[in-house]
Amino acid sequence: MDASSLAERLSDQLRQLCEVVGADSTAPLDLLADLLGPAGSRPLSEPPAWPSNIADDHTPVEFSIAYNENEPPALRILAEAQGSPPGVLANLSAAHRFMDRQGHRFNLSSSRYEAVRDIFASGQPRGDFALWHSLVFRSGRRPELKVYFNPEVQGTERSPALVAEAVRRLGLSRPYRAVLERGVRPGKLGRQDRLTFFSLDLHDGPQARVKLYLSHHDAEARDVARTAGAVDGVDEAVVERFCATAGGGPGPFRGRPMVSSHTFAGGVERPIGYSVYVPIRSYVADDAEARSRVLSLLARHGFDGAVLDRAIAAVSRRPLHEGVGLIAHVSLRLGRPRPGVTVYLSAEAYRTDPPRHRWGPPADAQRETSTPHIASRQP
Ligand code: TRP
């Protein structure tokens, strides 16, 4: 039995990740504890209190390392606050309380958040979340926070109307139209191209951004690259190549969907930035394969792979070939505000998924390295 609690496990990982990126861990650890609330003290031997979709094993937290062109890598956390007892509405109230408590401390601005929150509200929310947070820690700076709304909170069919109203209130209708024209395959909005997140920076500085995320089901690398064309100056071939390397071929990608995001800024006709997120765990046999693909992507884009290995060691001690999903996504950011590559690491607090079979001719070496059983770090 694992006697440690969820909060203990995650804090351990977070403390070590802070060391990797050279960030002071005081504020990150505080924020993590506050986000987890009472759910943090549950022992890991008990099942997750809430089936959070942040991570495949329902850990309500996912870590990421964001490599940037002109500054050291940043550490990020994506997290879902949980009510007790948890539920979509209870979690939403917990998220509000979290923002109230931390807002003063970190000088957050919620004016844009307040302007749209009623749109993404529902007395009977559909789907599995209403509001997520991300926290960004850059060395020597105070933490930055973002919120993620669920555009499908009133059902998939309503998502285009909800987003249209939100961008209207924020004065971003024109760049949104550019995304619809270019970023969505004809006739697929709300079907194979789904509006999955609408995110806001919780500050009012000139850098404050709004991002819209689209999940492209059954798309090819070429389809995804075309959506990047909504942003001036983005090279679609770079996006296509990134998807093909991370996804192990040109597609179509029939596992978890490729995801795009377009970044909006006020007073600009077109989106100013584009990111693609490849759910690499769906397209590899195990994490050793995911790591080697990510290392070649980092090298291609001019980043140092040593940091990745240190970050992996900070969250997990299991051999990489014994599971899949530790490296959950890899993303490429193009345009403003900061181009770079981000690698998402699962905490695997509750479960490690077993490696997938490698299809193809059985090679002796392969038979030895692929383990057919679950290799969980927990008994
Ligand atoms: N686990 C969810 C998914 O894979 C949500 C999620 C977590 C996600 N991190 C992400 C989605 C990064 C896109 C990119 O869809």
Ligand 1 atom 2: residue of nearest CA: 54
Ligand 1 atom 8: residue of nearest CA: 54
Q: List CB contacts of 106: < 8 A, sequence separation 6 or more.
A: 142, 143, 145
Q: Is residue 369 part of a domain?
A: no
Looking at residue 151, its pLDDT comes to 97
Which residues does ligand 1 sit against, CB inside 6 Å?
53-55, 62, 78, 259, 277, 279, 329, 344
| Ligand 1 pocket test, candidate residues 50, 135, 259, most atoms within 8 A of CB | 259
Q: Is residue 160 part of a domain?
A: yes
Contact of 327 with 309, CB cutoff 8 Å = no
Q: What end-to-end distance do the CA atoms of the chain give, in Å? A: 6
| Ligand 1 pocket test, candidate residues 53, 196, 350, most atoms within 8 A of CB | 53
Convert the pLDDT of each residue in 265-298 to its tens digit. 988 899 999 999 999 999 999 999 999 999 999 9
Rounded mean pLDDT, 17-37: 96
What's the CA-to-centroid distance between 214 and ligand 1, angstroms? 11
What's the CA-to-centroid distance between 55 and ligand 1, angstroms? 7
Distance of alpha carbon 61 from the chain centroid:
10
The count of C-alpha atoms lying within 13 angstroms of the C-alpha of 114, restricted to the half-sphere facing its C-beta, is: 8
Q: Is residue 262 part of a domain?
A: yes
Alpha-carbon distance of 189 to 228, in angstroms, equals 16
Residue 259 CA: which ligand 1 atom is closest? 13
Q: Is residue 372 part of a domain?
A: no
Provide the angle, in degrees to the nearest 10, between the axes of the packed helices 305-315 and 6-21. 160
Q: Is residue 15 part of a domain?
A: yes
Alpha-carbon distance of 88 to 29, in angstroms, equals 25
What's the CA-to-centroid distance between 362 and ligand 1, angstroms? 33
Residue 366 in this model has a pLDDT that exceeds 80: no
Residue 56 CA: which ligand 1 atom is closest? 1
Mean pLDDT of the chain: 91
What's the CA-to-centroid distance between 364 and ligand 1, angstroms? 35
Task: Write out the residue range of the structural domain in which residue 89 sits.
Answer: 6-346
Q: List CB contacts of 100: < 8 A, sequence separation 6 or more.
A: none
Q: List CB contacts of 330: < 8 A, sequence separation 6 or more.
A: 246, 277, 278, 280, 290, 293, 294, 297, 341, 342, 343, 344
* Count of other CB atoms within 10 angstroms of residue 169: 13
Q: Is residue 91 part of a domain?
A: yes
The CA angle 295-301-304, to the nearest 5 degrees, is: 50
Domain count, the chain: 1
Q: What is the CA radius of gyration of the chain?
A: 20
Coil, strand or helix at 98: helix
Residue 140 in this model has a pLDDT that exceeds 90: no
Coil, strand or helix at 79: strand
Residue 53 CA: which ligand 1 atom is closest? 1
Alpha-carbon distance of 338 to 205, in angstroms, equals 15
Q: Is residue 153 part of a domain?
A: yes
Convert the pLDDT of each residue in 43-94 to its tens digit. 999 999 999 999 999 999 999 999 998 889 999 999 999 998 999 999 999 9
| pTM attached to this predicted model | 0.93
Q: Which two tokens stand for residue 130?
A: 């209403």
What's the CA-to-centroid distance between 109 and ligand 1, angstroms? 25
Q: Is residue 289 part of a domain?
A: yes
Percentage of the residues of the chain whose pLDDT score is greater than 70: 94
